[in-house]
Each structure stands twice: as structure tokens, then as C-alpha cells.
Amino acid sequence: MEQVIHIAYFLTAFLFIIGLKRMSSPVTARSGIIWAGWAMLLAVVVTFFWPGLHNYSLMIIAVVVGSIIAWVAAKKVAMTDMPQMIAIYNGMGGGAAAAIAALELFRGTLPNIGLVILAIVGGLIGSIAFSGSVIAFGKLQGLIRDRPITFPLQKILNLIIFVAAVGCGGALLSAHIPWMLPLFFVASLLFGVMMTLPIGGGDMPVVISLYNALTGLAVGFEGFAMENAAMIIAGTVVGAAGTLLTLMMARAMNRSLKNILFGAFGKEEIGSERCAMGSLKPIELDDAAILLAYADKVVIVPGYGMAVAQAQHKVRELMDVLDKRGVTVKFAVHPVAGRMPGHMNVLLAEAGVPYEKLFDLEEINPEFPNTNVSLVIGANDVVNPAARTNTSSPIYGMPILDVDRSTNVLVIKRGKGKGFAGVENELFFDDNTRMLYGDAQDIANKLVQSLKKL
């Protein structure tokens, strides 16, 4: 039976890898998720046949209850809330790995010191990923202030907590001391909380990806400790994918992972911005419609504001109306637009926007000087020229969409607030920029109606 289980685990690994490969393209992403889902189902089912397994009733109850909760949550969650859902589910994986480590260490039955070390490391990483993901969820959900939460000597305190966690882990390694086990996990969980609090909401996508990688590593370590091939493979794949994604996102923001984790990015700093010259210039909706109607090329730049307003369907309708008038319409999608990679792509695909109309930063930037109108919908930091010109700005050096180089810029925005980075957007004050204030869905709908009347 063990040989059959190992063959099934090998098939699971193959399906995971195929699924991950297919997720790399929007065309095949849906089928990739299905493949990975079947792989997970296979791994769960064959594990029930592992020799010497007990407590079947409890495991079945847990699987059924967890599946029902996940099904209901997935059906109800809005696309705008998907990042925090991913954050909490990532955290659950880390928490599960930590729970496995706690049980194995409490039993004290691991056969050699090498496996004990792996269990301790997996428990430490899994606990950090769990508690850190909970804080990330809270920041994205608005339960916790999304600005960095800092206080004096915070980094020193965090270092003390981390050293305490490692010290408790070392004590568990040298001697089986039952009361040291809860101290180890309390310190590990506390470090995850303290490490995430000083990180601003604008960096949460990178943090979620990092914790995803940590969850994979924790599962992989526990797989080695328990000699479970499925956990080793799944953890390794998740850890590697999460690490690559984290590095890619950090590169897209032109910032180091160290700066993201310890830089308190997004904290209000007096004197960190230069004064924006000029004033915000609003435009009448009918005038904006005329500007769009008689343009040769329009580039639409979606941001999180579009997601919040659930305006993607009206934006697609706007695209259709402009297409019928012979206007060339393209979409510029920044790598970190929204709150997670691919967020804007998924929203636009959901609304039926053809994939060939979506262009990434490197593809679309050379086209802005020849663009008649750039329509910015709820995007902020990713179109801020300060990233190119203002050396004192916190976002200086971050690759941005060169919207300001268009002939005209229309910005749909709910209010005059700042972006996640907490800095003023110099684009809004440019001579060629006009502001359309209001809900993105409502404004897009009114633009469509105005265009149809022309």
C-alpha cells in the first residue's frame, strides 16, 4: 500500500507542476487551477490509506467543515477582497505546518536530531507566516490601520523576540522540556505580528507573497521531518514560486526586500515631498467625453480604485463604444497595480476585455508620447512622475507608467487623497491633466452615455 501511496504522491507532484505552469498564462490559468485542485484532492484521499493512521472520524469532519467554509467564502468574496482572502489562506497553511511541528515536538518521537531541527525550523517559519498573514489580512480588510505602525526601539524589540524564539527552539533541541514548547510558539507568533505591523498597506502584496513562500518552506520542512513526500514536493513548489514572485514584485517597485520589511514604507514624513506646484484642474464630464471621442489613441490605466468601485464592466463598455468610433484603445497594467499581481488582469478578463488589449509596463511606456488621451481610473502611485524626478520621494526609482508624457491625461478619482505610499501625486497637478471626481463606475457609465450622444 505504501508503494501505491508514493506513486500517487508522484502523480500529485506532476499535476501540481503542470497546474502551476498553466497558471502562468491567462488563457490556461483556469484549467491550471483545476489541475492543481485535482492534485490536492488525490493527495488528501490517498493519505487516508497511510498505514497506522488513526482518528479517521476527526479528519473527515475537519475536511468536510473546512471544505464547506472555503466553498462558501470563495463564492461570496468580492474580487476586491481577493488579496486578503489569499493572505489568510496562506496564513492557514503556515499555521497548519506549525501545528504539525507542535504535535511532533510535544510527542518527542522524532527518530533523530536532524528531523527535530527540521521540525523546529518549520514550526518557527510556519508560526511567523501565520501571524504575519493575519496582520496582513487585517490591514487589507481595514481592521488595522494600513499605515506603518512604529514606535521607538521597535527593531531592537523585534530582534529580542526573534532571539527568544530561536533560543526556545535551541532549548527544545538540547532537552525535551515540555513548558518550553508553548514559549517557543508564542515568541514565534509574536515575531510575525511585530514584523508585519511596521509595513505599510502599499507593500502588502509583496508581504503576502513572502509569507506564501514561508508557508511553502514550513510545509516542506515538516514534510522532511515526517518523511512525507507529498508535503515535501508541495512545500518546495510553493516556496520556490512564492520566492520568485516576491523578488519579481520587489524589482517592479525598484526596492530591496530589506527595505520593504524594515523601511516603514508609507509612513508620513514631514519634508519628504517637494511642494507640488499649481492646482488640481477639474473637467466637465461632457468635455471629457469629447476629448475621448475625437482621440486617435486612448490608453486606459486601471488601479485599485477601479476594483473598489467594481467598474470593470463599465470600463469594458467604454472600450467598446470607443472601438466603434475607430479609436485605438489599449490598457496599461502596472506589475503592482491593485493589491496583488494579476489583480487588474483578472478583473478586466472577468469583464470580457480581450487579453491582447492588455500591455505591461515595458510594452506600453514607449507609446505614451504618441497617445492622445490616457485615462487613469483609480491608479495613483504607479503613475506618479515623482518616482522619476523627485529624489526625496519615498517612491523615487520605482518604475512607473509614463502617463504624464501623453498629450492629455484624464484622472477618475473619488477624492483628493494620497495613494498607498502616502505621497502627493505630481501627475494630478500637471498642465495636461484634468480631474474627474466621483465613483469610477458612475463616471464610466456617464462617459459611455455622453459618447453615445455624440
The 3-class SS string of 321-360 reads: HHHHCCCEEEEEECCCCCCCCCHHHHHHHHCCCCHHHEEE
Residue 328 in grid coordinates:
485605438
- Label residue 270 by pLDDT band (50, 70, 90): very low
What number of CA atoms fall less than 13 Å from residue 324's CA on the CB side? 10
The rounded percent of the chain whose pLDDT value lies above 70 is 90
Alpha-carbon span 285 to 146, nearest angstrom: 33
| 40-49, 73-82, 401-410, 424-433, range with the lowest pLDDT | 73-82
CATH number of 285-453: 3.40.50.1220
Nearest Cα to Cα of residue 368 among 323, 342, 325, 400? 400
- Label residue 111 by pLDDT band (50, 70, 90): confident
Phi, psi of 52 (to 5 degrees): 85, 5
The two beta strands, 358-360 and 433-437, are unpaired
pLDDT of residue 269: 44
In the predicted model, is pLDDT for residue 148 greater than 80?
no
pLDDT of residue 271: 40
Sign of CA dihedral 412, 416, 422, 424: positive
In the predicted model, is pLDDT for residue 41 greater than 80?
yes
One-letter amino acid of 56: Y
pLDDT of residue 371: 94
Nearest Cα to Cα of residue 334 among 377, 394, 392? 377
Q: Which of 113-117, 139-143, 304-308, 443-447 has the highest mean pLDDT?
A: 443-447
Residue 100 in grid coordinates:
504539525
| 189-193, 196-200, 328-332, range with the lowest pLDDT | 196-200
- Label residue 307 by pLDDT band (50, 70, 90): confident
Alpha-carbon span 55 to 103, nearest angstrom: 15
Arithmetic mean of pLDDT, 245-260: 72
- Label residue 234 by pLDDT band (50, 70, 90): confident
Every domain range in the chain assigned CATH 3.40.50.1220: 285-453
pLDDT of residue 231: 85
Arithmetic mean of pLDDT, 370-387: 89
- Label residue 116 by pLDDT band (50, 70, 90): confident
In the predicted model, is pLDDT for residue 31 greater than 70?
yes
Arithmetic mean of pLDDT, 354-361: 88
Q: What does the mean pLDDT of the chain come to?
A: 84
Residue pair 207/199 in contact (Cβ under 8 Å)? The answer is: yes
pLDDT of residue 322: 94
| 221-235, 252-266, 313-327, 433-447, range with the lowest pLDDT | 252-266
pLDDT of residue 232: 87
H or E, element range at 433: strand 433-437
pLDDT of residue 349: 82
Arithmetic mean of pLDDT, 125-137: 92
pLDDT of residue 123: 92
Radius of gyration of the chain (CA): 25
Nearest Cα to Cα of residue 380 among 398, 360, 406, 359? 398
Concerning whether 360 is annotated as a catalytic residue, the answer is no
Arithmetic mean of pLDDT, 76-89: 80
In the predicted model, is pLDDT for residue 410 greater than 60?
yes
Q: Which 3 state secondary structure label does DSSP give 312?
A: helix
pLDDT of residue 265: 46
Q: Which 3 state secondary structure label does DSSP give 434?
A: strand
Residue pair 246/239 in contact (Cβ under 8 Å)? The answer is: no
- Label residue 192 by pLDDT band (50, 70, 90): very high
> Could you identify the residue written with the cell 490517498?
46
Arithmetic mean of pLDDT, 221-225: 87
Spot the catalytic one: 81, 286, 287, 381: 381
One-letter amino acid of 149: I
Residue pair 260/419 in contact (Cβ under 8 Å)? The answer is: no
pLDDT of residue 12: 87
pLDDT of residue 416: 62
